[in-house]
Amino acid sequence: MMTYNGFFKKLCSALLVLTLVFTLLPQGAVETQAATRLESAKSKHNVTDDRVLKVSTVTQLRKALTQAAENATSDSRWIVYAKPGTYSVMVRITVPENVILVGTDETIFTPERSMTQLVIMNGSIYGGTYDCAGLAKYGIRTADGVSYDGGANSDTGNGWISCANIKNATMSGIVCVNKTSDVYIYRCDCTNNGTYGISIKKNGAISEIYGCTLTGNTLSGLYFTNATVGTIAECTISSNGESGIETGKNVTITKIKGNTIKSNGEDGVLLASSTDVTSFNENTIARNEQFGLEVLDGSDVAAMSDNILSKNGTTNLYIAGSSARVVIKDGNSIIKAGTNNVTMNDGATLIVKGSNNSFNSAASIGLSLRGGSTLNMKSGSNNLVQNNGDYGIKLAGGSTATLLNTDFGGNGTYAGQINRYGEITSFEGCEYTTTDKTSEYYFHYNVPFEQAAEVLDEIGWDLQAAFDWSAGMTYYGHNSEVPSYPDDEHTAEWYANYGFENYKGNCIVMAMTFYQMAKDMGYEVRCIYGGCQDWGGINPHGWTEIDIDGETYVFDPNFTNETGRNGYQITYGQSGTWVYVKDYVFAE
């Protein structure tokens, strides 16, 4: 027996095809579309002809909604059908309980003046275009505190928003707030809204968002905070200003499946603090400007299977925070990132419990772990970390990896780079192929700088704390004891040792102590020797660079020491900073 849910999805798919066809046809065909939409709504909500009111003006619409509300019950719902045309409203439209407002794509509701919402929904909506015209904050808002009865197998329930177009709201196209529950959103288009396409907040609950198109919204396509979400499936979420899907705090999502999330201005999916996702399957997340999937502290993705994360700007999968966790199961392709396929930081956890996963062909690193993060390959086979530009895997800053049945072949520099305090605890069943390097060196280890580690143990393993420590030492200018020009005797290590032992020194000393601490924490850091240009010419100078998420930043402890201004994570040419003239890389 076909369930209502399956029937409705097929019905909406058929309607979508009909809509595309009828937009190319003359008026007679539009009228046929209107009749089809009305018949579909009657069938879905089990409404007979004697419970249908047809209107063509705003005045008629309001009278019909009042009449329907007086007669409708949960066992005998009514339809108000707004014929094709433009309905300019002065006061919001309220759809009563057990009433369905039906329209076609050519049924256009638009406000004449500023208002909070164009429509308040107690019943259901089936079709129609809700053009907020930059005047209404929200296109459709669910009623506060309503527990709708439109379950997935119900053919008459309230709480359905189906086949509607919502656009040009100053805030969200659709918003569910204040303990609203059991809302179903099907085949809706939410485009060009001022903040989000759909937002769920203040203990709102959505049972399913299916087959929706969310594009061109100023912030994110979908936004949830303090919310419960059932399923997000088969949606196209693209070209939004920030993220495709974004969560705030205290969000639970049961399933994210089969969505196409691409070309968003920041992340494909951003899971901020305290977000739990039970399953994350069969999604394609590609070409987003920063991260494909970003999982931050307190958030958990319990199972990832059969996803494609590809060609995202910096990292395909970014996990950060001691309470951030992702579990990878079977068949994921996490490939071709602009920098790293996977980046883990600040104590994050990644567990691999499946087979046939690929972490291949990133511009830099397949799997990058730092800041005490943990990778645990518990089970599975035929996992690939191949053909990445620099390293297959890189560990630093107390990170550990347990590797199992994985091929690390064909990476550009080393199969693995184990920096200071990184550790591979097991390498069972793993393989790698050598190119011009012998197998003895294909996994490369860097020795930690002990004095840097001792300072970090005191001040905390934090980049800002390390910078502040180096910038806070006593300036001890260019002299015979601490020369301004490195030479065979005064090496990079010499400058660092001098700073750690005396807590004073010149710009090179400050730069080298910070360099060693950043290196111990696993950052891609370089100490640069060159000069700073002022009205008197170019003065000798040393500073550091760190690559973070594909961008190069300047960290200059001496700039902060001398000027009292911020020299932490600045950019070349930034207003209010020095003019830097590079000569050569002093240490990397």
Q: What is the pLDDT along the chain (588 residues), one digit of tens a residue?
A: 344 455 445 444 544 444 433 444 444 555 555 778 899 989 888 899 999 999 999 999 999 999 999 999 988 999 999 999 999 999 999 999 999 999 999 999 999 999 989 999 889 999 999 999 999 999 999 887 777 765 444 545 688 999 999 999 999 999 988 777 788 999 999 999 999 999 998 888 888 999 999 999 999 999 999 999 999 999 999 999 999 999 999 999 999 999 999 999 999 999 998 999 999 999 999 999 999 999 999 999 999 999 999 999 999 999 999 999 999 999 999 999 999 999 999 899 999 999 999 999 999 999 999 888 999 999 999 999 999 998 999 988 788 999 999 999 888 888 888 876 788 888 888 887 544 443 443 676 666 688 888 898 899 888 999 999 999 999 987 666 777 777 777 888 889 999 999 999 999 999 999 999 998 887 889 999 999 886 667 888 999 999 887 789 999 999 999 999 999 999 999 999 999 999 999 888
Q: Is 346 left (phi over 0), alpha (psi -120 to 50) or beta?
A: left
Residues contacting residue 50 through CB under 8 Å, at least 6 positions apart: none
CB 503 within 8 A of CB 488: no
Asked whether the CA dihedral 295, 526, 450, 506 is positive or negative, the reply is negative
Question: What is the rounded CA–CA span in Å between residue 313 and residue 267?
Answer: 9
Question: What is the rounded CA–CA span in Å between residue 573 and residue 582?
Answer: 13
CB 106 within 8 A of CB 30: yes
Q: What's the pTM value of the predicted model, to 2 decimals?
A: 0.81
Question: What is the rounded CA–CA span in Å between residue 262 and residue 310?
Answer: 10
Cβ count near 481 (within 10 Å): 11
- Residue 102: both structure tokens together: 């039906």
pLDDT at 4: 41
pLDDT at 35: 73
CB 254 within 8 A of CB 230: yes
CB 155 within 8 A of CB 5: no
Per DSSP, 322 falls in state T
pLDDT at 2: 43
pLDDT at 439: 41
pLDDT at 418: 82
pLDDT at 205: 83
Question: What is the rounded CA–CA span in Å between residue 481 and residue 490?
Answer: 10
The number of angstroms, rounded, from the C-alpha of 283 to the middle of its chain's C-alpha atoms is 13
Question: What is the rounded CA–CA span in Å between residue 584 and residue 486?
Answer: 12
Degrees, nearest 5: CA angle 130-193-172: 80
Question: What is the rounded CA–CA span in Å between residue 513 and residue 528?
Answer: 13
CB 54 within 8 A of CB 107: no
- Structural domains in the chain, CATH included, are 4-241 (2.160.20), 451-587 (3.10.620.30)
